[in-house]
Amino acid sequence: MKLLVAVKRVVDYNVNVRSKSDGTGPDIANAKMSMNPFDEVAIEEAVRLKEAGKATEIVAVSMGLKACEETIRTAMAMGADRGILVETDAQLQPLAVAKVLKALVAKEQPQAVLLGKQAIDDDCNQTGQMLAALLGWAQGTFLSKLEVGDGKAIVIREVDGGLETDEIKLPAVLTVDLRLNEPRFVKLPNIMKAKKKPLEVIKPADLGVDVDPRLAYSNFRDPPKRQAGIKVKTVAELVEKLKNEAKVI
Protein backbone atom coordinates (compact mmCIF):
# COMPACT_ATOMS: atom_id res chain seq x y z
CA MET A 1 0.00 0.00 0.00
CA LYS A 2 1.43 3.36 -1.05
CA LEU A 3 0.76 6.36 1.19
CA LEU A 4 0.86 10.00 0.11
CA VAL A 5 1.46 12.36 3.04
CA ALA A 6 1.10 16.13 2.72
CA VAL A 7 3.36 18.27 4.92
CA LYS A 8 3.26 22.05 5.21
CA ARG A 9 6.00 24.51 6.17
CA VAL A 10 4.62 26.93 8.75
CA VAL A 11 5.87 29.37 11.36
CA ASP A 12 7.00 27.38 14.40
CA TYR A 13 4.27 27.08 17.01
CA ASN A 14 6.53 28.69 19.66
CA VAL A 15 6.79 31.93 17.65
CA ASN A 16 4.50 34.81 18.61
CA VAL A 17 3.38 36.17 15.23
CA ARG A 18 2.37 39.82 14.84
CA SER A 19 0.82 41.72 11.94
CA LYS A 20 2.85 44.02 9.72
CA SER A 21 2.54 47.71 10.53
CA ASP A 22 0.73 48.35 7.24
CA GLY A 23 -1.77 45.53 7.84
CA THR A 24 -0.89 43.66 4.63
CA GLY A 25 -0.13 40.35 6.34
CA PRO A 26 1.61 38.59 9.21
CA ASP A 27 5.19 39.63 9.88
CA ILE A 28 7.14 36.38 9.50
CA ALA A 29 10.45 37.83 8.31
CA ASN A 30 13.28 35.85 9.95
CA ALA A 31 10.75 33.78 11.91
CA LYS A 32 11.64 30.20 12.73
CA MET A 33 9.84 27.77 10.42
CA SER A 34 8.99 24.11 10.99
CA MET A 35 6.65 21.34 9.87
CA ASN A 36 2.99 21.79 10.74
CA PRO A 37 2.52 19.75 13.97
CA PHE A 38 -0.58 17.97 12.64
CA ASP A 39 1.31 16.93 9.49
CA GLU A 40 4.16 15.67 11.66
CA VAL A 41 1.66 13.33 13.32
CA ALA A 42 0.51 12.20 9.85
CA ILE A 43 4.07 11.32 8.84
CA GLU A 44 4.62 9.44 12.08
CA GLU A 45 1.46 7.40 11.55
CA ALA A 46 2.47 6.57 7.98
CA VAL A 47 5.89 5.40 9.18
CA ARG A 48 4.26 3.23 11.86
CA LEU A 49 2.03 1.65 9.23
CA LYS A 50 5.09 0.85 7.15
CA GLU A 51 6.92 -0.59 10.16
CA ALA A 52 3.88 -2.79 10.82
CA GLY A 53 4.06 -4.12 7.26
CA LYS A 54 0.82 -2.46 6.17
CA ALA A 55 2.43 0.15 3.90
CA THR A 56 5.13 -0.33 1.28
CA GLU A 57 6.05 3.24 0.33
CA ILE A 58 5.61 6.69 1.82
CA VAL A 59 5.73 9.77 -0.43
CA ALA A 60 5.99 13.13 1.35
CA VAL A 61 4.56 16.12 -0.53
CA SER A 62 4.90 19.82 0.16
CA MET A 63 3.98 22.96 -1.78
CA GLY A 64 5.41 26.44 -1.78
CA LEU A 65 8.84 28.04 -1.92
CA LYS A 66 12.08 26.14 -2.44
CA ALA A 67 12.65 26.34 1.33
CA CYS A 68 9.90 23.72 1.68
CA GLU A 69 12.55 21.17 0.67
CA GLU A 70 13.74 21.35 4.27
CA THR A 71 10.30 20.26 5.50
CA ILE A 72 10.30 17.32 3.07
CA ARG A 73 13.79 16.32 4.20
CA THR A 74 12.52 16.28 7.77
CA ALA A 75 9.69 13.98 6.71
CA MET A 76 12.19 11.70 4.98
CA ALA A 77 14.39 11.71 8.08
CA MET A 78 11.35 10.48 10.02
CA GLY A 79 10.90 7.62 7.56
CA ALA A 80 9.34 8.78 4.28
CA ASP A 81 10.91 7.08 1.25
CA ARG A 82 10.92 10.01 -1.17
CA GLY A 83 9.57 13.49 -1.60
CA ILE A 84 7.81 15.74 -4.08
CA LEU A 85 7.99 19.54 -3.93
CA VAL A 86 5.42 21.47 -5.94
CA GLU A 87 7.36 24.71 -6.15
CA THR A 88 5.44 27.97 -6.42
CA ASP A 89 5.56 31.46 -4.92
CA ALA A 90 1.78 31.82 -5.16
CA GLN A 91 -0.31 32.25 -2.03
CA LEU A 92 -1.71 28.74 -1.74
CA GLN A 93 -5.24 28.38 -0.43
CA PRO A 94 -7.02 25.13 0.55
CA LEU A 95 -8.80 24.60 -2.77
CA ALA A 96 -5.56 25.03 -4.74
CA VAL A 97 -3.75 22.60 -2.41
CA ALA A 98 -6.57 20.07 -2.81
CA LYS A 99 -6.40 20.35 -6.61
CA VAL A 100 -2.63 19.83 -6.60
CA LEU A 101 -2.99 16.80 -4.34
CA LYS A 102 -5.68 15.41 -6.64
CA ALA A 103 -3.28 15.68 -9.58
CA LEU A 104 -0.53 13.99 -7.55
CA VAL A 105 -2.92 11.18 -6.59
CA ALA A 106 -3.56 10.58 -10.30
CA LYS A 107 0.21 10.54 -10.87
CA GLU A 108 1.26 8.40 -7.89
CA GLN A 109 -1.83 6.18 -7.42
CA PRO A 110 -1.65 5.90 -3.59
CA GLN A 111 -4.17 3.88 -1.59
CA ALA A 112 -4.50 6.61 1.05
CA VAL A 113 -3.65 10.28 1.54
CA LEU A 114 -2.71 11.38 5.05
CA LEU A 115 -2.50 14.97 6.23
CA GLY A 116 -3.05 17.03 9.33
CA LYS A 117 -6.61 18.06 10.08
CA GLN A 118 -5.52 21.71 9.79
CA ALA A 119 -2.48 23.95 9.52
CA ILE A 120 -1.59 26.13 12.48
CA ASP A 121 -1.03 29.23 10.32
CA ASP A 122 -4.48 29.63 8.72
CA ASP A 123 -6.50 27.05 10.76
CA CYS A 124 -8.73 26.48 7.72
CA ASN A 125 -9.41 22.73 8.24
CA GLN A 126 -10.61 22.43 4.64
CA THR A 127 -7.99 20.74 2.45
CA GLY A 128 -8.71 17.13 3.43
CA GLN A 129 -12.45 17.45 2.94
CA MET A 130 -12.04 19.26 -0.39
CA LEU A 131 -9.61 16.61 -1.62
CA ALA A 132 -11.98 13.77 -0.72
CA ALA A 133 -14.79 15.53 -2.59
CA LEU A 134 -12.62 16.10 -5.68
CA LEU A 135 -11.46 12.48 -5.71
CA GLY A 136 -14.81 10.96 -4.79
CA TRP A 137 -13.03 9.02 -2.03
CA ALA A 138 -14.14 8.13 1.47
CA GLN A 139 -12.79 10.39 4.20
CA GLY A 140 -11.90 9.98 7.86
CA THR A 141 -11.27 13.28 9.64
CA PHE A 142 -10.00 14.33 13.08
CA LEU A 143 -8.53 10.88 13.71
CA SER A 144 -7.28 9.89 17.15
CA LYS A 145 -6.89 6.21 16.22
CA LEU A 146 -6.33 4.39 12.92
CA GLU A 147 -6.27 0.69 12.00
CA VAL A 148 -5.73 -0.38 8.39
CA GLY A 149 -6.21 -3.79 6.78
CA ASP A 150 -8.13 -5.83 4.18
CA GLY A 151 -8.88 -2.83 1.99
CA LYS A 152 -10.54 -0.86 4.76
CA ALA A 153 -9.70 1.44 7.66
CA ILE A 154 -11.27 1.53 11.10
CA VAL A 155 -10.99 5.04 12.50
CA ILE A 156 -11.87 6.76 15.73
CA ARG A 157 -12.79 10.41 15.16
CA GLU A 158 -12.85 13.22 17.69
CA VAL A 159 -16.23 14.92 17.29
CA ASP A 160 -18.16 17.48 19.33
CA GLY A 161 -20.06 14.78 21.23
CA GLY A 162 -16.99 12.70 22.08
CA LEU A 163 -15.55 9.84 19.99
CA GLU A 164 -17.01 8.27 16.84
CA THR A 165 -15.88 4.93 15.38
CA ASP A 166 -16.26 4.42 11.62
CA GLU A 167 -15.26 1.79 9.09
CA ILE A 168 -14.35 3.20 5.68
CA LYS A 169 -13.20 1.63 2.43
CA LEU A 170 -9.85 2.40 0.90
CA PRO A 171 -8.74 4.43 -0.98
CA ALA A 172 -9.48 7.24 1.44
CA VAL A 173 -8.37 10.65 2.63
CA LEU A 174 -7.36 10.62 6.32
CA THR A 175 -6.82 13.77 8.38
CA VAL A 176 -5.23 13.31 11.78
CA ASP A 177 -5.46 14.95 15.18
CA LEU A 178 -2.63 15.48 17.65
CA ARG A 179 -3.72 12.65 19.94
CA LEU A 180 -3.20 9.98 17.27
CA ASN A 181 0.46 9.49 18.22
CA GLU A 182 3.65 11.09 19.53
CA PRO A 183 6.07 11.87 16.64
CA ARG A 184 9.52 10.40 17.07
CA PHE A 185 12.69 12.36 17.67
CA VAL A 186 14.70 12.57 14.46
CA LYS A 187 18.24 11.26 14.95
CA LEU A 188 21.29 12.67 13.19
CA PRO A 189 22.06 9.50 11.15
CA ASN A 190 18.53 9.59 9.73
CA ILE A 191 18.94 13.27 8.86
CA MET A 192 22.08 12.40 6.91
CA LYS A 193 20.35 9.49 5.15
CA ALA A 194 17.44 11.77 4.20
CA LYS A 195 19.81 13.97 2.16
CA LYS A 196 20.36 11.05 -0.24
CA LYS A 197 16.70 10.15 -0.69
CA PRO A 198 15.08 11.25 -4.00
CA LEU A 199 13.23 14.55 -4.04
CA GLU A 200 11.36 15.56 -7.19
CA VAL A 201 10.66 19.24 -7.87
CA ILE A 202 7.79 20.15 -10.18
CA LYS A 203 5.60 23.16 -10.91
CA PRO A 204 1.81 23.41 -10.61
CA ALA A 205 1.68 23.95 -14.38
CA ASP A 206 3.32 20.54 -14.87
CA LEU A 207 0.26 19.07 -13.19
CA GLY A 208 -2.16 21.26 -15.11
CA VAL A 209 -3.36 23.03 -11.96
CA ASP A 210 -4.17 26.72 -11.56
CA VAL A 211 -3.18 27.80 -8.04
CA ASP A 212 -4.11 31.48 -8.29
CA PRO A 213 -5.85 32.65 -5.07
CA ARG A 214 -9.66 32.78 -5.12
CA LEU A 215 -9.89 34.84 -1.94
CA ALA A 216 -8.30 38.21 -1.15
CA TYR A 217 -7.39 39.38 2.34
CA SER A 218 -8.17 43.03 2.97
CA ASN A 219 -6.47 43.65 6.32
CA PHE A 220 -4.54 42.00 9.12
CA ARG A 221 -4.43 43.31 12.68
CA ASP A 222 -3.42 42.03 16.09
CA PRO A 223 -6.20 41.12 18.53
CA PRO A 224 -6.92 43.79 21.16
CA LYS A 225 -4.83 43.58 24.30
CA ARG A 226 -6.57 41.92 27.19
CA GLN A 227 -7.53 44.42 29.87
CA ALA A 228 -7.05 43.81 33.57
CA GLY A 229 -10.05 42.55 35.50
CA ILE A 230 -11.83 44.43 38.26
CA LYS A 231 -13.56 43.45 41.47
CA VAL A 232 -17.15 44.35 42.29
CA LYS A 233 -18.72 44.52 45.72
CA THR A 234 -22.28 43.44 44.96
CA VAL A 235 -24.25 41.32 42.49
CA ALA A 236 -26.20 44.42 41.48
CA GLU A 237 -22.96 46.19 40.53
CA LEU A 238 -21.86 43.14 38.53
CA VAL A 239 -25.15 43.03 36.62
CA GLU A 240 -24.95 46.77 35.95
CA LYS A 241 -21.45 46.50 34.46
CA LEU A 242 -22.34 43.43 32.36
CA LYS A 243 -25.36 45.27 30.99
CA ASN A 244 -24.04 48.80 30.46
CA GLU A 245 -20.28 48.38 30.00
CA ALA A 246 -19.71 44.90 28.61
CA LYS A 247 -23.17 44.87 26.96
CA VAL A 248 -23.43 41.08 27.15
CA ILE A 249 -26.85 40.99 28.78
Is residue 143 in some structural domain?
yes
Tell me which residue range forms the domain holding 16: 2-244
Is residue 187 in some structural domain?
yes
Which pLDDT value is given to residue 195?
94
Tell me: the pLDDT tens digits for 77-121? 999 999 999 999 998 999 999 999 999 999 999 999 999 999 999
Query: Edge to edge, what strands does the sheet with 112-116 contain?
Result: 162-169, 152-159, 138-149, 172-176, 112-116, 2-6, 57-64, 82-87, 199-202
Contact 71, 9 (CB under 8 A): yes
Which pLDDT value is given to residue 157?
95
Is residue 249 in some structural domain?
no
Residue 116's CATH number: 3.40.50.620
Is residue 142 in some structural domain?
yes
Tell me: the pLDDT tens digits for 55-80? 999 999 999 999 999 999 999 999 99
Residues with Cβ within 8 Å of 129's Cβ and at least 6 positions away in sequence, in order, are 139, 141, 173, 175
Which pLDDT value is given to residue 209?
94
Is residue 237 in some structural domain?
yes
Looking at this protein, which amino acid is placed at residue 168? I
The average pLDDT across 13-23 equals: 89
Checking if the pLDDT of 222 tops 90, the result is no
Give the Cα separation of 198 and 95 in Å (integer): 27
Is residue 36 in some structural domain?
yes
Checking if the pLDDT of 215 tops 90, the result is no
Contact 211, 204 (CB under 8 A): yes
Checking if the pLDDT of 24 tops 90, the result is no
Is residue 34 in some structural domain?
yes
Is residue 75 in some structural domain?
yes
Q: What total number of domains does the chain contain?
A: 1
pTM of the model: 0.86
Dihedral over Cα of 245, 246, 248, 249: its sign = negative
